[in-house]
Amino acid sequence: MDRYISSELIASFLFGVGMFSSVGVTAGVLFDLITKVTEEGLSILIAIQVLCLKIPEFISYSLPISILLATLLTYGRLSSDSEIVALRSCGISVYRLATPAIILSLIISLLTFAFNEVIVPNANYNATQLLKDAIEIQTPLLDERDIFYPEYELTPEEIKDQPNKLKRLFYAKNFNGVALGDLTVLSLSNHQLNQIIVAKIAKWNEKEQVWNLEKGKIIKISENEGYENINDFEKTEIVLPKEPFELASQSRDPYEMNITQSLRYLKLLRFSQDEKKILMFKVRMQQKISFPFICLVFGIIGTGLGIKPQNAGKATSFGLSIAIIFCYYLSSFIIGGFGIAGVLSPILAAWIPNFLGIGIGVILLRKDEG
């Protein structure tokens, strides 16, 4: 029985992976790349490379949907052909019938987790960089993006009530992957401004562990807030923290990082004390971790719905899959919003939809058993 049900599930699952991946790649990437090739002069070779690099992401997205479709199709067919009734008459419980689907769903969840850790982040990041570099070669513009980094002088642990003091404030108008453009650094002492550094170009020198600044000036501010000294320079080296460069160069979407990279980047964000950005990143990171286990959620729900007596065909199963997916992602979006707003912790915001889905699936199976 297990071999029979598993073979039906795997066949439907592979069909779903192929179908949903193809639709996702076509709608999500292919049309956009065709536009870039025809209107922006993107090389066809680079477009093909980007397309191949984006395929793993859409395979990852298709796995949970395919599990849902596979369970609905397989158990729906068994139910419509009265095979479920025959098996139940032999004393086999609904939970035993659902075991192959649950085990397959758990295996796919673990495979999806590994796939999202090892393959998808690097593929997504390489696709982004390849497309970005190709477009920049044809239109050599800096990546217009404000970079803001406050450096704080941490308060000793024994003085818990005293807030951290702002030590430096970094602002750069843009970053091109190598250098910060139009950098301004404000240095403070005892909440008073004592130095301003302005540079047209700022590069981090990894070997010397200093900043190489070009075309700028260093302005000393006296205690009465007057200019004490102004030094213009064409090129100079200055010792400043590396974090602003790391923050700019490592800025990725959570879906372009594995867990180790995400934790490293989160540690870097904490230096800036941008609580809103930190909270949003925590929620996105937890959602990324919880995503693979949607396979288990959809497997249980699909099995619970499929086992019910019905005469559903493939079209009905497909439509039901879309409806379930829409409801799940809508609830995930809303609950995730509560997490970003600080109403829920990042872990709860990411995992509550999974817990609710498993609860609904278990209720459906209990009704089928009753």
Measured CA to CA, the distance from residue 151 to residue 165 in angstroms comes to 9
Measured CA to CA, the distance from residue 307 to residue 310 in angstroms comes to 8
Encode pLDDT of 251-284 as tens digits: 566 677 888 878 877 777 776 566 787 888 888 8
211 to each of 62, 178, 243, 249, 304, how far by Cα in Å?
45, 12, 11, 15, 61
Measured CA to CA, the distance from residue 195 to residue 186 in angstroms comes to 6
pLDDT, residue 113, reads 92
pLDDT, residue 42, reads 82
The full set of domain ranges for the chain reads: 2-133+275-369, 165-241
pLDDT, residue 142, reads 38
pLDDT, residue 294, reads 92
**What's the sign of the alpha-carbon dihedral 269, 275, 280, 285?**
positive
pLDDT, residue 366, reads 87
- State the burial class of residue 311 (Cβ atoms within 10 Å of its Cβ: 0-12, 13-18, 19+): exposed
> What residues contact 84, with CB distance under 8 A and at least 6 apart?
75, 78, 97, 307, 309
Measured CA to CA, the distance from residue 105 to residue 298 in angstroms comes to 8
Return the CA Rg of the chain.
Answer: 27
Residues of the chain with confidence (pLDDT) below 50: 137-144, 158-159
CB 94 within 8 A of CB 307: yes
Q: What is the reported pTM?
A: 0.70
Sheet holding 192-205, edge to edge: 143-153, 165-175, 179-189, 192-205, 210-221, 227-238
Transcribe 230-256 into DSSP letters.
EEEEEEEEE---SHHHHHHHT---GGG
Measured CA to CA, the distance from residue 321 to residue 299 in angstroms comes to 11
